[in-house]
Structure 1
Amino acid sequence: MAYNVTEGSYVTDPDDGYMRITEAQRMIEALHSRGIRVVMDVVFNHMHDVNINALEKTVPHYFFRRNKDGSLSNGSWCGNDLNTTALMCRKYILDMCKRWQVLYGIDGFRFDLMGIIDQETMKLVDAQGKALDPSFVVYGEGWNMSTALDESMRTTIQNNFKTPHIGFFNDFFRDTLRGTNQMETKGYFSGDTYKTNDAMRAICNLDMFAKITQSINYVECHDNATCYDKLQISNYDETEKIRKRRARLMMAAVILSQGVPFLHSGQEFFRTKGGLSNTYNAGDQVNALDWNRKDMEIDTTQFIQFLIHLRKNNPCFRYGNYDMIRKNVKTENINHRMIKYSLHQSEGEYKDFVIYFNASLETIPVDVEDGFTLLYHSEKGKILDHKLDVNGVCCAILVR
């Protein structure tokens, strides 16, 4: 396994090293020409096999982290952890990151198991990337793994205030709105309305991070089950229609919450992996995108497009600091089961938004202030005499 070699599976001639480079460059250039930026998943935390690795052979016991007794550190659960505090190891990581950015045009990095990499290395990676491109992004998995590195030095979500320019997958957001990675657990949007207050906190992400831009909001990624598959278990007693409505609410919350939205490919048409969880070794039959589902779920796909448009064209959904959020954003608990999410802005398509997220099965009537009109309602509701019924498992968006 080498960090500076492109994957050969997608190359027309994998035995031609130059073709590996040029075809990857052309691929990224083609994506850029269509307005799509490219963030690469980098796994700088471990190698496949220490004993056959070139770094270990070159300088034994230097590039891989060791415990005090000389055994290999295994916070990665892969048998070895890269020794990122060793100066030449750190330099190697920085050189490889620069190579991918300059030679190929990568626009950002998503770091696998970032929590076992030291903060100094991550800050240098981020600074190097932003020096070349101010819009360069760096984020990753800030889980606190049991690696042989002092906890205070790890790039974990708990230490986020030490790396204010680096983003973290927000597991509080995920677990609160969807439920934990255990298939049977529920979050707010899967019907556990005891989590209404926590869900309100997740949507605004107040005070959890040094900066709001560090919060990578998600409910589904390549690891673990898709939301659709999880809902088959956690909400087995509900109809398919209701489960899909719950999944739509989760996606709406991801896109409209304060922070950085993260959607898994195919999530917008209820991607399924056949009920399996981690499928890194399951093959294309499980992991391939079934594009037929997009046609079958075109209403939901268009709903997600509508929400993305709303976020892009209204800065109130992407305030860059907590002061702006406290001044212009408010969440309220309605009947201990529904969230009222109010936003104000000085520029954009509208001046004010009121969004209702109702994760309960009950219809909840609300009063509508003067000047507000209904932009979206999951069940095509109407405002009558300044009142609106927000149906169960429904999202309603009012604007002024």
Structure 2
Amino acid sequence: MPKTISIAAGRSTQLGATFDGDGVNFAVFSQNATRMELCLFPEGGGEVRIDLPERNGDVWHGYISGLTPGMHYGYRAHGPYAPAQGHRFNPAKLLMDPYAKRLTGHPQWNDALMGYTVGKEDSVPDPRDSAPYMPRSVVEDPAFSWGRDLPPQVTVEQSVIYEAHVKGLTARRRDVRFPGTFLGLASDPMLDYYTKLGITAIELLPVQAFLTDRFLHEKNLTNYWGYQTLGFFAPEPKYLARGKIAEFQQMVARLHRAGIEVILDVVYNHTCEGNELGPTLSFRGLDNASYYRLMPEDKRLYVNDTGCGNTVNVDHPMVLRMIMDSLRYWVEVMHVDGFRFDLCSTLARVDEGGFDRGAAFFDAIRQDPVLAQVKLIAEPWDIGPGGYQLGGFPPPFLEWNDKYRDRVRMFWRGDAGSVPGLADRLTGSALQFDHSGRPATASVNLLTAHDGFTLHDVVSYTKKHNDANGEGNRDGHGQNYSDNLGVEGPTRKKGVIAARNRRKRNMMATLMLSQGTPMILAGDEVGHTQGGNNNAYCQDNQTSWIDWDRADGDFLEFTRAMIRFRQEHPLLRQKLFLHSRERTVDGREDLFWWRSDGQPMAQEDWEDPELRALGAELRMASGTPAYAETEEAIFAIFNRGPARDWILPDPPSGMEWDWRIDTAEPERVGELVRGTVGIAGDSVSVFVLWGGPE
């Protein structure tokens, strides 16, 4: 830091703290502030406050020569403290730069973090300095020697997504250096594991800096999942082994070299500042009325479509710009390959209205040449009015499909009348997605995700067991469509264990045989359990960390085999929807539904609530470009009922059915059959058409 500090006007064009080789330009947005102080924290201690000298529109800015990366800083914003008018300025509060590229840590909970005097609602400002309890923003030069890093650019139809938590994935790996960090996630043992598993992308739970809520802190719990964002540009400090943002870039580069994409779960719909009684850490103190959507009739209160206390005001152009700048930063500077948008419906609300697929957020995303190159995935719901919008998002968005999850679970649980729901999900959930030119791959098919039971718990628990969360087991989903197969939780009964293992194979096979984009929850492939906790958001411990020492090697190998089978058969990865009528290839339909007696499914069969089995013959959809290697058909039998004989469709002359998968006998490697075959109860069998005229 120079001995004497002089500040020049600088530039308003690039927000944040930007190092140019000679000094640092500081620029921060606030529409309603009357004065903006830059606070520097040199190594020797103390705080140096400097007024930003220029305001261009609503951007306050200044330039200091001689400053270098590593300088700690923050802001103090002056303006009216008038909650009823939506303003909560309090210069006693040190504020984090919304564009900070690194943070020194996390806020330490203290009443001084509150902009108001605790105990007097929020009408009286608190005069105490929050700086002793606030992390510092850090000036960074994010330049990184990428070498020849190239994004894998895996097509959507080839994608198999692996949802993982940075810490939970490796915290219990004995062979990983720096477990629980970005470096550990991309270590050699993990890269070898991913490639053998066959996944093409890792979708990381939030890695942007986040906060542990005070109510969790007071219960000695932690915000494990990370859905309380503090900074949209800064990597989570806990995941940096050496405190360098280059560690994230190194992780991405190593994953790319292994052919694996990186997708970030991002939370732009709300921030960690909560409702009107939450802390003043950044956005609230810089310009509450601009950053957040406030209740029209009482601007003291926040619109809460997210269920997290506040809602980010995407309607404001500078707030939308911040989100777009953040997305481009993670693509251009950090080289990520896509994003999954938490509560994406919230980002598409116009003014005080409902969901609008033509909202400014979508327009901004879709026209952006940088973001056009990456994968975009929506969580298609929030708790606001009309917030459930599965299938309602515009191209090129993919969407998490919870209906897929529920209908597959219902079928394998044996629910009455569940066969039609299974058929819909096997063929890309066409009712939701077959419109507006959207491909079948728009449906992200999942059996489980971070939010809910693990796959092992789906077949081991009928009820949720969330007592460790300290909320009296009231939190988490009440309807899980799960089945313990006779015993709640762990058991030594061999019959129950065998049934659970088969049920998991059935569900994983269903996932890999379905049209759409499959997503696996990390740990499911090795039998990870959370002890029946279906809302482990606060369990930063062995409840959530994958126990690799107890990995189910047999199910891991089965999962690998199913991923491999999907990748070997383009027919399963078709972008065009399959239909049983009016869509033909060479005069043939591309989808047939069969009964066990060899007859086509009739309307009365679909309406039979006791039906427990379905045969699906899949062919290449009409209009699909020719492939160098394509089988003419795959025939899959999904049998939730008892063992039965099944008459296979007659193959063309000179051809037979190759029995490639049988979840009742997973060691089956191929058997040529025709006519009637015996199908085990509670199983999936898959046959591939083989042979042809010589």
Same fold by TM (over 0.5)? yes
- Residues 36-93 of structure 1: CA distance to partner in whole angstroms, max 9, x if unpaired? 1100010111111154132222222111112222220112111111111211111110
User: What's the offset of the Cα at 1:287?
Assistant: 1.0
* Aligned counterpart for 1:191 among listed residues 406, 414, 420: 414
* Cα pair 1:126 1:137 within 8 Å, conserved: no
Structure number with bigger Rg: 2
| 1:171 is aligned to 2:402 | yes
Q: Which runs of 5+ in 2 are unaligned?
A: 1-229, 349-356, 463-482, 487-495, 585-589, 597-604, 606-610, 621-625, 690-694
The percentage of aligned residue pairs carrying the same residue is 23
Mapped partners of 1:132, 1:102: distance in 2:
8
Q: Which moved more, 1:374-383 or 1:41-50?
A: 374-383
* Cα pair 1:224 1:277 within 8 Å, conserved: yes
Task: Select the structure that is richer in strand.
Answer: 2
Question: 1:95 is aligned with what amino acid?
Answer: D
1:355 corresponds to which residue?
Answer: 636
Question: 2:643 is aligned with what amino acid?
Answer: T
Mapped partners of 1:323, 1:177: distance in 2:
19
- Residues 259-289 of structure 1: CA distance to partner in whole angstroms, max 9, x if unpaired? 1111100111222111111111111211111
* Aligned counterpart for 2:577 among listed residues 322, 326, 341: 322
* Cα pair 1:329 1:344 within 8 Å, conserved: yes
Indicate how the Cα distance of structure 1 residues 309 and 337 shifts in structure 2: closer, same or farther if over 3 A, else same: same
Question: 2:613 is aligned with what amino acid?
Answer: M
State the TM-score, normalizing by the size of structure 2. Answer: 0.51
| 1:3 is aligned to 2:211 | no
* Aligned counterpart for 2:390 among listed residues 157, 161, 164: 157
Mapped partners of 1:341, 1:236: distance in 2:
28
Q: Which runs of 5+ in 1 are unaligned?
A: 179-186
Question: 1:167 is aligned with what amino acid?
Answer: L
Question: 1:303 is aligned with what amino acid?
Answer: F
User: What's the offset of the Cα at 1:331?
Assistant: 3.6
| 1:364 is aligned to 2:644 | yes
Indicate how the Cα distance of structure 1 residues 313 and 27 shifts in structure 2: closer, same or farther if over 3 A, else same: same
User: What's the offset of the Cα at 1:222?
Assistant: 0.3
User: What's the offset of the Cα at 1:135?
Assistant: 5.0
Pairing 1:119-134 to 2, within 5 Å after superposition: 119=357, 120-124=359-363, 126-127=365-366, 131-132=369-370
RMSD, aligned CA? 2.3
Mapped partners of 1:385, 1:108: distance in 2:
45
* Cα pair 1:196 1:333 within 8 Å, conserved: no
Indicate how the Cα distance of structure 1 residues 77 and 105 shifts in structure 2: closer, same or farther if over 3 A, else same: same
SS at match of 1:117: helix
State the TM-score, normalizing by the size of structure 1. Answer: 0.87
* Aligned counterpart for 2:567 among listed residues 302, 312, 315: 312
Indicate how the Cα distance of structure 1 residues 398 and 76 shifts in structure 2: closer, same or farther if over 3 A, else same: same
2:545 corresponds to which residue?
Answer: 288
* Cα pair 1:200 1:332 within 8 Å, conserved: no
Indicate how the Cα distance of structure 1 residues 254 and 126 shifts in structure 2: closer, same or farther if over 3 A, else same: farther
Indicate how the Cα distance of structure 1 residues 155 and 37 shifts in structure 2: closer, same or farther if over 3 A, else same: farther
2:147 corresponds to which residue?
Answer: none
User: What's the offset of the Cα at 1:241?
Assistant: 1.3
* Cα pair 2:659 2:688 within 8 Å, conserved: yes
- Residues 288-333 of structure 1: CA distance to partner in whole angstroms, max 9, x if unpaired? 1111333xx2222222212212222222112112268854233445
Question: 2:362 is aligned with what amino acid?
Answer: K
- Residues 364-390 of structure 1: CA distance to partner in whole angstroms, max 9, x if unpaired? 211133411211222348677722111
Indicate how the Cα distance of structure 1 residues 349 and 159 shifts in structure 2: closer, same or farther if over 3 A, else same: closer
1:184 corresponds to which residue?
Answer: none
1:182 corresponds to which residue?
Answer: none
1:261 corresponds to which residue?
Answer: 518
User: What's the offset of the Cα at 1:208?
Assistant: 1.3
| 1:379 is aligned to 2:667 | no
* Aligned counterpart for 2:251 among listed residues 27, 50, 56: 27
User: What's the offset of the Cα at 1:213?
Assistant: 2.3
Mapped partners of 2:614, 2:365: distance in 1:
36
| 1:340 is aligned to 2:615 | yes
Indicate how the Cα distance of structure 1 residues 374 and 172 shifts in structure 2: closer, same or farther if over 3 A, else same: same
Q: Which moved more, 1:190-199 or 1:220-229?
A: 190-199
User: What's the offset of the Cα at 1:124?
Assistant: 4.2
User: What's the offset of the Cα at 1:11?
Assistant: 1.6
Q: Which moved more, 1:108-117 or 1:315-324?
A: 315-324
2:159 corresponds to which residue?
Answer: none
Indicate how the Cα distance of structure 1 residues 275 and 323 shifts in structure 2: closer, same or farther if over 3 A, else same: closer
Mapped partners of 2:510, 2:344: distance in 1:
25
Task: Select the structure that is richer in helix.
Answer: 1
